[in-house]
Every structure is written in structure tokens, then in C-alpha cells.
Structure 1
Amino acid sequence: MTRERRKSERLRAGALPDPSSVQGIVELAADLAVYLSPNGEVEGISVNPDCPSLGCLDHWVGRDFKSFLTIESVAKLDERVAEMRADASMTPRWIEINHVDNATWEFPIRYSIHRTYSSDHLLLLGRDMQPIAEVQQRLVSEQLARERDQQRLRSEQTFYNVALEASDTGLIMVEPESGKIRDLNSAAALLLGTKASTLSGSSLAQAFEGRKREELLDELQDAARADEAKGVELMARRNGHSLLLYPDFFRAAGQLFMLCRLLPVDANMSTSAEVAQSTALLFASTSDAIVLTDAKGMVREANESFLVMADAAQMRDIRGTSFADYLARGSVDLKIILEAALKKGRLSNYATKITSVAGTRTSVDISASRLEHQGGDFGFGFVIRSVAPSEMGDGDATAGAVSEDAMKNVMDLVGTASLKELVSATSDVVEKLCIETAVQLTGNNRVAAAEMLGLSRQSLYVKLRKHGIMKSDSDDIS
């Protein structure tokens, strides 16, 4: 049975409509229908009346269909037509191409391409993609506008942060209803005795002594509504300083906020705040390494110079570790330094080496001080200066001189004594030198020196007497 016969049978059975009405069905089923000859010429065209945006396209008839396509679309159409002609059983698939007309007008159409029964003619049934393209274009425009708004917002936030930090007056932004600190600058944080990051987001009442949240907010709101500038006197909880808070209301995006100026009651406190700020800048920028620890020598804070010396990437890598971890002699060095600083309040020019995380060593001089905190708590501060080996203290030079004289005496014995006796004499010289150096480094602290040398206290006394460093028990100083 031929294809034409099957077609006629289906028409008689009512499976397909009468051929005379097919044209009307095509007009309604597709936004744009194009009938192409085998050579690609437009023989017929139909535009759905519900798509007025397509306009009248009757001038396409009798002209090459490709002349109304963009260059990219011509290649896509040729590829699809070649596939269909190579595979007669190929199911029609959608293809999106862009039309051009009158040199400037461009519109996208999504076609399904169909063969006709009797010839190599092609029927293209298309859907107008302009509404979807317009929606997509609006979405892209909205996204670009949103990104521009975000960029503008980030720029405004940067200006705000710079202006806030540049002010020498302490400024605190407060939410009137909740009483929470929305933002504050470094000047305000210094007056309150803490860091800005610590207070941001917390309750304003927590920064002051003896004030409840509701009571403080009522007092601030009364002061803000007063005709004359009226300050609220408060005491900072962390440092005990008396401060004046001057509140003012303002609105931003319909929300009510309170801007509080924070000033010291005593004019001298302003100078103290400036000194504290300068000290913080010195701590951050000095070339000498600075480390702050608690009473047990656990690292609380360190500046950038120490991070570089210790080969640490960031502060959190060393915070909470023992300072002994970075000293060449470990807990021995730390014990000597802390005991001296605890006894005398400070220690100067302690010569040792700093061991970095990577294992490298740097010769340093360490000065330490005991730091008193409120509530009876205390810690230690260390200033660490890198020195060249030739700059080490007098103790090292003296030890070198002793070693040189002792070794000269041993060398004078060559030819007069056996090798075994020479080696024994040399070992005694080295042992004496090490013991003298340990005693000197520990400030004549025999317990610390014994720990440094890995000896018991009794063994150290025996060797001290052997080498004439301690001639009697009256010299026994711990």
C-alpha cells in the first residue's frame, strides 16, 4: 500500500480533517507557518492573527528563505535539513533560529520542520519566541540593576565605615527599641576599654556599670528629646572610666535609630585614649616582636612581627599555645623568664633563640614585664628583638674566652700525654664550659641550670665542686 493510499484511507476514516480546512488549522496551530520549495524558496506563508508583533510577512513569498535569517541561523537550518534528508524516518525536532527583516528588525522563532507527502517541499511550523526573549531580557536587566545597586550599597557602606573610623569622637549607633549596639567606632571602643568587634551587636547596658537596659534606654530617650543637649553620665564596666553619653535620634529607611556621642568626663581621659590608640598602633607596626601571655605563659595576643618570626599565618594559629613552644630551650627558658619577671617585675636582655613553626631558629634578646590587670589578675608582656650572633651578650663572649684558654692548655699537652688522656681533658673543658654557660643564663639559679642541662640538682653540685665553680656549700644558691 502506497503512502498516498494510506493518506486517503485515513481521510475517509475521519482521522485527518478535510484538506481544504488544513490551512486554517495551520494558521491557528502555529504563530508562523512557512512553506518552502526544494530550493529553499518561500512558496507560502501564514501568520497567526493573534501575533500582531510579527507584522505582515507576505513580501517573503518568492524569495530565498535564508535571506531572512542571521548568519548563525543559516548554518543551523542547513545542518537540520541535511539530517532530515539523510534520514527519512527522522522525527521532527525543534530548532530555534533568528530572523532579520528590513536590516534592523530581528526576532527569534522556534520551528518544527516537516516533510510533505508528495514532494521535497518543507513545512516549517513556528512559535514566536519574542515574548519569552523580552521576559529574559527584563530578567537580565533586573539582575544588572540589582548588581549595580549592590555595588552602590557596598560603596556607600565603605564611605560610612571610613567616616566613622576617621572621627576622633567616640560614636555609638544604637537601636532604641532593643537597646543593642548596631555599630561603633574605635574611639568609642577605646573609651570603653575593649574592641569594637566585642561590643557590636551586644546590649548597650552591658558596657556600663550598674545600669539596667530599660532604665538606661528611658534615660537616653529623655535626653535625646530634650531641647538642650543633655549628656547621661555613665561608668564603663571594663575600665571604670566616667563617661558622658549624648544621644540624638535619626531615621534611616523608615527606622528610628539613636546616635550617641561618647565623651570622657575628665579631659585627661581624652589624652589617655589617644595614648592608648597610639600604643595600639605601636604594637601593630613595630619591628620588634611583642607577645602578651597569661600568668602561665599561654599566648593571648601577638603582633605581626612575632607572627613573621614564628612563621605563623595568622593569630588564631598561635593563640592559646604556650610561649615555651617558640623558645629554643622550651619550658626551661620560660620558667627562668617568668620567675625573674615575677620576682623583680621585669627582665631585660635574656639571650635565647626563637624556634618557628617551620623549625628555623632566630637569635633574640627578650625583655619581659609583669602586667597587672583588674581584679588581681596578671599576665606577662614580652618584647623580642632579633640579634645577630655577634651581638649576643657579654656572657657568651666570656664563655668563648674561657673555652679558648682551656683548649690552648689542652693543645699544649699534645706530645706529653696519650690520646685517651687528651680526650678526657677535652671533655672536662667542654663540660665546665656548658655548666658555666647554664649557670650564667639562669642567673645563678642552680635548679633551673640543672633542668637546662638535664641533670639532677645533686649531680650539678658535684660537678660544680669538681670544676671549682662552687668551692663550698655556702655557695649553694638556688
Structure 2
Amino acid sequence: MRLFRAPDASLGRLDAAEAASLFAQASDIALVIDTHGVIRDLAIASEDLSRDLGAGADWHGRPWLDTVTADSRPKVEALVQGIAQRQSPRWRHVNQVASPDGTVPILYSAMRIGEADRAMVFGRDLRPMSQLQQRLLEAQHSAEREYGRLRQAETRYRLLFQLSPEPVLIADAPSGRVLEMNPAAQQLLGRAAKHLPGRPVTELFDRHGQQAVRALLVVASGGSGAEEATAVLAEGARPVRIAASLLREGGGAAFLLRLSPVQAPDRPAMPPAAATLLTVVQRAPDAFVVTDDRGRILTANEAFLELAQLATEEDATGELLDRWLGGLGAEMEVLVTALRERGSVRLFAAALRGEQGASTEVEVSAVSVLDSGKRPSFGFAIRNLGARARPEEAGREPLRSVDEIKELIGRVPLKQLVQEAATIIERLCIEAALRLTGDNRARAAEMLGLSRQSLYDKLHRYGLGNLDAKGGEGG
């Protein structure tokens, strides 16, 4: 703690009225007590605090102990004892009794006034800090829900990727090396698929096919849309048609390569596991719809029929999906265009209208698949957002950091999104604590549950404050 070097010269002589005004303005509540802890006078600067405490009208002449809750009495006794023993001032959290039947958390510190039998008690209302802690807790819950929603979306896309009967490869855009392939691609490529991950995708094809694939990837890297070419596999000499689309992933990009035999072989019977999986999709709580490339419904599960307020699947089959999804066909046009260009869409916000007029806020994820080289079909996973649990929004401003993170969904990896969300929330907490404590680093560290050195390290990391100053030494 640093005190004034020459208070007589810098402040001059203050009379009692000026000193009283200074004490009243320096805190939310100021008490004048004697060494026995009896309140002799008080001043309340905050109107809200004055109203909640009844302006302290019946405090004069009463022991301070009688105005606090039972659990705070030992703290008040310690403050009064410290005054008598002329100990260094310390801050203590005291719950002050309020009317009717309430309490107000106040942070108190006391100091003796000269040689007189009097002491000044300074108090700061802790309710703003409690409100900030509540806001931070709600922000944490919001981030956790976003993380859970992203994890569920990732699971849905992984399911569609693995279940798709169309062979699909994902290759790194700069190098052209294979990153991943689905089971249908492994079955089509045979033994060559075993050593393919990490190798250039061009190794799959014969000499002429390699040239065609290189040219295809160059054109697709321009991002103009899905490009196609025909090449012959090196193993088996089977001609295949390749459709390439560019996918943006954070700071990088990848190619989505869809393969289809020019002369499609007879398909084996559906394995029991695949049939079970289709049954699960049919009975899933989220709506799922399959349409042709014009948006006409081919099949829909029970959850979609419930949202659309339809009795049977026949009522939906053959109808355009935009009859229920979106407004005036605008959403479906955007979705279909994105599917044709990129092959998939994630977390698209829309509204779904039922036959009886009910409107539901939904979130749509979709994928485009080819069946034996024919025209593409679209699969739509539709999640009902109407019943989703939300935090109480009243009384707090929206968090800009969460909104900014939402805008990055689909452009950066999930792990990076979670890390950035945690970093933003941590910095907001530190900035708020410094504001509440008047840039007192020691008290801010105590408020946040950190050691002082840990707080200084985080201040340095985020470039906050004057790093040469070490803040106050509040207790």
C-alpha cells in the first residue's frame, strides 16, 4: 500500500464538514463508530442501497453487531477489535440486514481517526459484482450449449458421411493428398484404399487419368462450383466419374471428391447393420427428409411428419419441401444452391410451417449424395429449436463475443472455437474484476480465485493494464 507523501502540503487543512463529505463520496456507505462498535453516525451515497437499508434510520446509537446477520458477526467483531488494536485496515465481506427480510452483501474496511475515540468504516456494495458473476455464469452455460450443439452436428455429418452409398474422398487442397474416405470409397477402390491416406489422390488412376484429375483439381480450386471429369482406376482399369468441390476449413481448404462408376455394378443386398441404422433415422427425434435435386420429397421420417402436422408419409411424398420449410421459397433456394456448389450445408436457421398454421424455429443441416451416377438427392436433418433451454436474457446485454464465435461456425475447427470462447470469457472476467476493484491487482486476483502471479501472467498475455504496476494490496 502506498500513502500520500505530503498530505499536509497537497491536501491542506480539511474541516470536519469537508472530511465528512469526502468520506461519504469515497464509498457506498460510511459509518462512524466508537471503539466499542456503537454506530454514532452514518452516510449512504447510493440511493438503491439507502432504500434497501431503510436509510439506516434506526442505526444511530445501536451496536454495529445488531445490524448484521449472525454469520457476519465474527467478522464485525474482528473489524472492531482491529480498530482498538490499531491494526492495518483489512477488507471483509459482511451481510447487512435489509428490510424486509433481506440481506445486502457489503465489503467493509475500518480505520481509526487520529487519537479520538472514533473510527471510520467504509463499505462497498457487492451486488454489482454478484450480477456480473451471474452474467459470466450464463455466458459459460451458453458456450457449453454451443459446444454440445456443434458436437451433435458433427455426429450427424459423420453419420451421413459413413452411411452414404456414394464413394467420397476428402483431399487436402494445396497438396492433393487424401485425408479421409468413407466405407463406400474403400469398397470401390479395393486394396488400393489401404495405403491411400496421406498419399496423392492421383496415384489411384492410370497415366491419362492422373492428368485429368490434376486438371480437375486446378479448376475446382477456383471455387466456381462442382467440376467433373472421367478417369480410369489404376487397379482394375475401371472408368469412374469424379466430381470435385472445394471446401473452406478455417485458414485452409480441402477437396470433396465424389466417385461413381461409369457402368455401375449390381449392388449387394443391404447389410443388417445398415437396415438397423435406417430404422434409427426413421424413428429419430430430429426430423429427416430426403428430396430429389428439385426439392421434391422422396421420403420423410416420423419427426418431420409431426412438425409439418401431417398424418401419413404419403401426404408429404412428391410435394416440394419449401411448402413447409422457409418462407416464399427463399430458404430452400439458398439451401439447394449451396448443396449443388459445396455438397453440404450446416446449421442453417429457418422456420418450418405446419399444415395447421403452427410455425417452429428450426436448424437445418443438409448433404448432397449421388446414387449410381444419377442425379443427386438431398438429405435434410431438421432440428426443432423451439423447446431448447435458453438462459434468462432479461436484464443483461447480449455478449458480442458469443455472437462473433457463432459467425465462425463452419469456418474454423470445433477445438479452436472452444479455445477462443474460453479465452474471450477469461479476458472479460479479468477486465470486469479490474474495473470493480479500481485496477487493484491483488483484490482482483482474490476476487477471481487466482494467485497474484497467475493474474500478472494473464495480464501480460492479454496486454491489459500497466504491467509494471503491481496494484493495491487489499486484504
Fold equivalence (TM over 0.5): no
Q: Report 1 or 2 for greater relative contact order, CA contacts < 8 Å, sequence distance ≥ 6.
A: 2
Q: Which has the higher helix share?
A: 1
What TM bracket, shorter-length normalisation?
Answer: 0.3 to 0.5
**Bigger Rg, structure 1 or 2:** 1
